[in-house]
Homo-oligomer: A and B are copies of this chain.
Amino acid sequence: MSNIFAVINGQFVQEQDAKISINDLSIQRGYGIFDYFRTRNNEPVFLQDHLDRFFHSAAVMNLPVEQSREELEQLINGLIAKNGLPHSGIRITLTGGYSDNGYTPAKPNLLITQSAYTFNTEAFGKGIRLVTYDHQRQLPQVKTIDYLQSIYLQPFITEHGADDVLYHQQGALRECPRSNFFIVTKKNEIITPAEKVLKGITRKKILSLQGLDVKEGTVMLEDLHDIREAFISSTTKVVLPVLAIDGKIIGNGKPGEITAEICRRLVEERGGSE
């Protein structure tokens, strides 16, 4: 019997009792949005950025949020106090609700869950390998619950000896399913695809780092032949070096110096690693 709680529509419920009816539009039609942030020593990291994006996603998808921002913060703080998981990930999900006709969104269901998460300090040194795939995510700028294509591609990723997939649209690189992608050119420009991607919070923090030549731009598949470093960014992973793409080594095949510097500065900004 776990003593972990979740929140459903403002009520705290034990995790094993946290259920919704099967006529919810997330189950029927994959319709919902979410956001996900970390806590460190019981403090939410970059909470306001995540709440900004949560409310934006909800508005774009025509899902009204019953709770005010203050009420959401109270629920989040209540959950942190109840669960006693100082280093964690917290997910806020807003679904299409109990639709009468199984298609038109109804009053959304708001779900908040927390799970223990400790930053894996060894992951940086190992880096990751990517395999590319021609796919443009639908509604890319909204953090929807749609991960159908990427979960479907898990066997493809494994077959190609990779850790994750990097989407491109007819050669124009986009993003990984759960992280943004950056290259470091031989001129030390740090470039991340500008268009048709989810604008990650970590991506935003990287774009605002001072003293580095970081920018949004166009990155093509063929640009990968002549770069110094590559890395991905996400709330969960912060920054991870990309050591190979489609089986071809990037740079010298080891985590790059600029990637390491960016990772250090981000960890510093969020108050340290756990």
Contact = CB atoms under 8 A, between A and B. Distances in A.
A157 B248 CA distance: 46
Interface stretch (A146-154, A222-230, A237-245): A146-154
Interface stretch (A14-22, A77-85, A194-202): A14-22
A9 to B, nearest CB: 11
B20 A20 contact: yes
Interface string A1-32: 00000101000000010111111111111111
A135 interface: yes
A74 interface: no
**Interface size class, chain A:** 35 or more
A183 to B, nearest CB: 26
A104 B154 contact: yes
A149 B27 CA distance: 15
B152 A61 contact: yes
Interface in A24-68: 24-32, 60-62
Interface of A: 6, 8, 16, 18-32, 60-62, 91, 93, 95-96, 102-105, 111, 113, 135, 138-139, 144-149, 151-152, 154-155
